Each structure stands twice: as C-alpha cells, then as structure tokens.
Structure 1
C-alpha cells in the first residue's frame, strides 16, 4: 500500500497536524484518532448548520487523514513486530481505516461539486439528496475510525519492545481515570455549559469528578463549541480531548485498560411451527 500523493494545491485543513517525529508509535496512533474525531465533528457541525468553513477544507482534511493513517501503518511496520495476533489484525484494521478515509474523500469531493454556488454555508442540508447526502455518506465511512484506531493502538502496544514505549506517567491514576482517558481518546466525551454549571453529555458514563480531576492534571482539555449539539437546535458542545501529556500517559497505560468488544451474538429463536403460528391482521 503506497502513500497517495498530496493534493495539487494547498487547502485549508479542519485540524492542525503536529509533527509526529518524536512520538512513539502508540502516541502517534492516539493523536491520529483525535484527528478523525475533529474531522467528524466538523462535518456534524456543518450538517447542523453551525459551521462556516471553506468548501475545500473537508476534501483536503479527509485526504490528509488517509495519508496520516498510511504513515501510521508505516511507523508500525518499522517496529519489526512479529506477524502474529493481535498485531496482524490491528494492521488490517488500520488499512481498512485508510481505505474508508479514501472513500470519504471521494464523497466529500462530490459534495463540494454538488454544493449550491449561491449558498456558501447551507443550513441543515437535506441528508437524502445532493450535498447533504454526500456529506452523510462520507461521515458514515469515518464514524468508527477513532475507536478502531485506539483498539489497534492497544493491540500493537502489547507487542512493542520496551525501547519503543513511552514512560510518561502521573501519580495516583486510578482505573476510573484510565478508563475516562480511553473514552476521550475514542471521541466519546463532550460537555456543555448551561446556567453557570457544567453538564456532561457522553455516549458512555464518565463521572464528572473524574473529568475535572483529569483536566486539573493537564491530561485533558476542552475545545469550545467543537462538538455538535446533543439534540436538534440545542447548543454546540465542547469536545473533551487529550492533551499531549494525556496522549503520552494513556499510551503508557493503555494495555491495562479494557476496551469492551461487541456483544456476543445471541441464538436466533426458531420460527414457530406452522400449526402454532398465528396470523396477524
């Protein structure tokens, strides 16, 4: 798999890409997951009518995500890890993420072409046709990227030699705080400020006091109004993100944090016998 060429002209990105030369491979993957979260948030804000961004920004950012993912795969391969599970499945997952980012780029290119010329920032585009439909299709392709990358980083970390690991730690980091760092890395946590008090909204339970403690330690930060509303016409939320220190600390303890897998499939009940089936009218 080769790295795709850069776009012919420089475009505005939806996020800042910091130099990753000094990062360990796990830190690099965690930083990549954060870029995908930022990208997804930006699309969600546009769909919610909250974004005013250049039309080319989404295309160039998606293209950059593909490149950064392929670069992350290259960094993993440079570690000369054994070709065994769970490393092989982690690399395959990263390849799939890069492929989906490429597909998202194509959908976003189509969205740019379908965008009404007389309406630079359409509010609430129709998700069933034209511009809005292409945005939705692109967003679907990168929706699970942060979680997939963090899962891959965890699997790769189990096989890394000690020389390739981060040693950054903080004292007193308990299980709840480690779990919160993991959920934040996967893009699961956003907050809102209402009536002078902070209300936390997230897809998984994260205690308020844990988030405040992590923020006080400099491990997480809030990016104001960077996340979409929790409900239509509601306020934009602040995205909770790992700081550079938070990424380093999580990379050190990531193998000690449990990432829940998909639920086990349940047996499919047998259809009722013909003699006992009832007709519903």
Structure 2
C-alpha cells in the first residue's frame, strides 16, 4: 500500500488541482453562452474540500507555532473560503477568486517544508531524484501553473512566467517522468488563438519537488519561493 502524501506533497497536489480547475474555467469562458452556468460548481466544491484536507494535514503535524506557520494556516483558510465562494458565483467572478490559488498553495508548501526541516530534518533522508538547479526551478514554475507549450511549423515553444524554463529542461523532466503535457488544456495566448498545452507535475515530479524543498539547501536554491511576475517570453527548439 502506498504511503499517504506528506503535508508538503499534499499542498503541491492541491496547487495542481487549482491549476487544472482554472484551466477548466478558462475553457468554459471561451465557450461563452454555450457553457453551463454551474459547470464549475462541483470542481469548486472539491477544491474547497481538498484545501481543508490539506490544512488538517498541516495542523496534524503539530509544528511549533511560528509567524510563518500561522500565516500559512491563514492562507489555507482563505483559499478554502475563496473556493467555496467561487461555487456561488458565475464563471468570470469564480475564475477571479481562484486566479492566484496555485501560487498560494505552492508558497504554503514551501513554508511548511521550511518549518518541518528546521525541526525534524535528518541527513539520512535522501530524495529519489537528485535535481539540478534548473530542474528544481522548472518544477517549481510548473507547480505554480506558469508553464505552457505551443507548437508552430514543427517547432515547440515554452511560454513561462517568472523564472525561465528552457525546452531542453522540460524535455529532460519529461524523459525522467517528472513532468507531462496536457494537450490543448490551457487558455490561448491571445484572443481567438488556439489552446495551449499545460505542463503539469507527474506524481513522481510532485514527490521530487517536495523532497527538494524539504531538504536544507547547500546554496540558495532557485525556485523555492515564487518569483515576481515577468513579461511572458518563449524559447524554442530547432
């Protein structure tokens, strides 16, 4: 029987649920009047429940109270409230209420990981996947919902927000089973444009990222906190 997810893994999984939820709402908004007005209701209710479950997992750790941990608990309570509230609104407002949820959930994962490793970390703990700095950064950006892929004339383009993610890094993550693309699941880059491929963490990618942020960094590790939003750019493969 597989072990239940750790609190850090659970928060990263929660972030992924929010990414998928927001992408679904974007597609429903694209459908316009044809979309069912309550099509997002069940998803929003599941998210509220998942957020409360993640919050319980954090509080069950019984970590020593700190300002960072208190802020994390409040942030998760806010996310649960916003998810519940989004179920009571029509699509445009519902989408706005959960817009920043993936970044908030990954930020909570980082805060909890810091609190746990400050008190309980053992040098014998080792992740299954040793990540390079660029892989670490890319996994973090993917968890935040910042990475999509498009293709044109046989070439693939990575669009990112925040830290740079290269196509070569993405391919290495995919080859190692740490990330995957969900075709045509993300909103278009411009009005009327084609849907983009969302890049999301696999179960192994979630475990690897959780292990990486749960271990003391030997140097300042990139991607352990959300970076300020930057203008969307792209890299391409030849």
Q: TM-score range by the shorter chain?
A: 0.7 to 0.9
Q: Which residue of 2 aligns with 1:24?
A: 6
Unaligned residue ranges in structure 2 (runs of 5+) = 215-220, 230-238
Alignment equivalent of 1:239, drawn from 168, 193, 198? 198
Query: What pairs up with 1:1-281 in 2 under 5 angstroms?
Result: 22-49=4-31, 56-107=38-89, 134-160=90-116, 161-162=120-121, 167-171=126-130, 173-204=131-162, 205-255=164-214, 256=221, 257-260=223-226
TM-score, normalization: structure 1?
0.71
Bigger drift between 53-62 and 233-242 goes to 53-62
- Deviations, residues 155-211 of structure 1 (Å, cap 9, x unaligned): 011122348xx853323x211110110000000001112211111122232111111
Would the alpha carbon gap of residues 260 and 37 (structure 1) be closer, same or farther in structure 2, given more than 3 Å must change? closer
State the distance in 2 between where 1:243 and 1:175 align.
19
What displacement does 1:96 show? 0.7
State the distance in 2 between where 1:158 and 1:51 align.
45
TM-score, normalization: structure 2?
0.83
Would the alpha carbon gap of residues 105 and 261 (structure 1) be closer, same or farther in structure 2, given more than 3 Å must change? same
State the distance in 2 between where 1:54 and 1:218 align.
35
State the distance in 2 between where 1:53 and 1:35 align.
21
Conserved 8 A contact 2:110-2:224: no
State the distance in 1 between where 2:209 and 2:188 align.
28
SS of the aligned residue for 2:22 comes to helix
Q: How many residues align?
A: 216
Instruction: Point out the structure with max Rg over C-alpha.
Output: 1
What displacement does 1:43 show? 0.7
Q: Which residue of 2 aligns with 1:114?
A: none
- Deviations, residues 126-147 of structure 1 (Å, cap 9, x unaligned): xxxxxxxx31111111000000
Conserved 8 A contact 2:44-2:84: yes
SS of the aligned residue for 1:80 comes to coil
Would the alpha carbon gap of residues 220 and 262 (structure 1) be closer, same or farther in structure 2, given more than 3 Å must change? closer
What displacement does 1:233 show? 1.3
CA RMSD of aligned residues (A): 2.4
Would the alpha carbon gap of residues 153 and 196 (structure 1) be closer, same or farther in structure 2, given more than 3 Å must change? same
